[in-house]
Amino acid sequence: MRGLIVILSIICSGCGPRVTLTEITKTEEVDQKADAEVQVKRTEGMEPQEDAVAQLKKLTLAQHGAGSLGGPYVGIVHNSVTRAVVAQGKKIVPQLVERLKSSGPDESAFIVFCLRELHAVSAKKKLVELQQAVRSGARFANEPHDLTLEMQIKFFLDDADSWDTDGP
């Protein structure tokens, strides 16, 4: 995403405020600091998979989202927590799907992101159910949120039919 910002600043340099290399560096420093605050640390008494899933609760779209290019949702890119979750491979998919039952909108968006990265075909049915619950207002109706979760579900469902089985 940061490379995209640089490209956009070059293309649009004559059409408004410029994004300077200093600003990009500052943004990267802020991103790295926020990422460091949520480093995956093994919690005593937890298995690595459980701990990785538990760390997803700490992520917020405001701090760990990749920003928006004008849409009513935030992009999501990997950070230390999502990398640790995806590194667990397909064995973590059932725990992620289970966590979706009680997670908030930000955590749910990161969970769906991880499921997509894992090509978790087995989660498709649950994500369709979640999509319907969000649309009907049965989930998150009283919690402030943007369209990030809905877009992550859409991206997952758009890609899921091209996956044969759960990924790595």
Contacts (Cβ under 8 Å, ≥6 apart) of 155: 116
pLDDT tens profile 14-31: 333 333 333 333 444 444
What the block records as the tokens of 47 is 């298995």
pLDDT tens profile 68-121: 666 788 888 888 899 999 999 999 999 999 999 999 999 999 999 999 999 999
pLDDT for the residue numbered 64? 63
| Angle, in degrees to the nearest 10, between helices 80-87 and 105-117 | 50
State the Cα–Cα distance between residues 37 and 166, nearest whole angstrom. Answer: 31
pLDDT for the residue numbered 69? 63
